[in-house]
Chain A
Amino acid sequence: SQQGEEDPQALSIQEGENATMNCSYKTSINNLQWYRQNSGRGLVHLILIRSNEREKHSGRLRVTLDTSKKSSSLLITASRAADTASYFCATGSYNTDKLIFGTGTRLQVFP
């Protein structure tokens, strides 16, 4: 069962523009994580935000979490061609030991 759903499914932008991806989920969570995957490769962790946090930054990444709306957004500022990848949100809940992944947003950044 998919907990997170990313929106949009695909996004194409020019280098230097900002990219925003959204994630919606269904049940109460302990934390929400964002991962990046280059084509066919393993996932790499980007950022973890806990349910009592509203915003978190890491370099050019900004993540927000709105637990009342059960949604999160990932903002990549001043994007680069090297940011081209798929981005996944994943949610961890209080009552399971599983991290549940969404279906991902495919980001294409054109030079």
Chain B
Amino acid sequence: EAQVTQNPRYLITVTGKKLTVTCSQNMNHEYMSWYRQDPGLGLRQIYYSMNVEVTDKGDVPEGYKVSRKEKRNFPLILESPSPNQTSLYFCASSLSTSGAKNIQYFGAGTRLSVL
């Protein structure tokens, strides 16, 4: 089954404790992206990647890191989480290198709470 898989689905952590949210897709998609969703603000893009070893900042990249060493994986790293990073996070992938011109497929989401 074609899918985007995020782990974990739920995470509670404390300020400053490094964490990684994994994202994997099995559709051989070129483009992958991370979004955060906050009430009243819709989805905001954090980082995106058009191909292996190619990443770029979205609208809200501060406090986050990503890497794209393999085509299928795009982990989101919070080196020193803070309470304002409490949010619902989504990973998405798209077939071509331009995520703006094609359908995006979303993971089920990761709900993160930073205490």
Tell me which residues across on chain B come within 8 A of A90, comparing CB atoms.
104
**Interface pair B106/A42, CB less than 8 Å apart:** yes
Are the CB atoms of B45 and A100 closer together than 8 Å?
yes
Complex contact B111–A40 (CB within 8 A):
yes
| In the assembled complex, B99 has its CB within 8 A of some CB on chain A | yes
User: Are B100 and A104 in contact (CB-based, < 8 A)?
Assistant: no
Contacts of B106 in A (CB 8 A): 35, 42-44
| Stretch in B14-22, B35-43, B66-74, B79-87 with 4+ CB within 8 Å of A | B35-43
A residues near B90, Cβ cutoff 8 Å: 42-43
- B-side residues, CB < 8 A to A, are 4, 31, 33, 35, 40-45, 48, 50, 56, 58-59, 88, 90, 92, 97-109, 111
Residues of A within 8 A of B88 (CB): 40
Of the four ranges (under 10, 10 to 19, 20 to 34, 35 or more), the interface on chain A belongs to 20 to 34
Known: A88-B43, A102-B42, A103-B40. A93 touches B100 (CB 8 A): yes
Residues of A within 8 Å of B101, CB to CB, are: 30-31, 92
